[in-house]
Amino acid sequence: MPQKALVVFDRCHPELCSKEGICAAAQACPRKLLKQEAPYQIPLPDPSICQACVECVRACPLKAIIITRV
């Protein structure tokens, strides 16, 4: 069964990732599949092409990214 990265919105606070509000998980994604429209906004994954590599999960200091079966 395929797996994808999902953002747990109530845990995600990009302002805690850096002073500039840049999401650490979005920066860590090797394929740049987590899109953060602007600083301080919650990033959104692109589940259609996510490979569930878990780099975003490892990078998120708030544990706001999970890998789930779809």
How far is the C-alpha of 7 from the C-alpha of 25, rounded, in Å? 10
Specify the residue for token string 């708030």. 62
Q: Residue 29 has what pLDDT?
A: 93
What are the tokens at 1?
């069964």
- The topology (CATH level 3) of 3-69 is Alpha-Beta Plaits (3.30.70)
Q: What pLDDT was estimated at residue 57?
A: 96
Write down the pLDDT at residue 46.
Answer: 86
Position 48 scores a pLDDT of 83
Residue 55's contacts (CB-CB under 8 Å, 6 or more residues apart) are 28, 29, 30
Handedness of CA 15, 20, 22, 28 (dihedral sign): negative
Spatial CA neighbour of 64 closest among 20, 19, 26, 18:
26
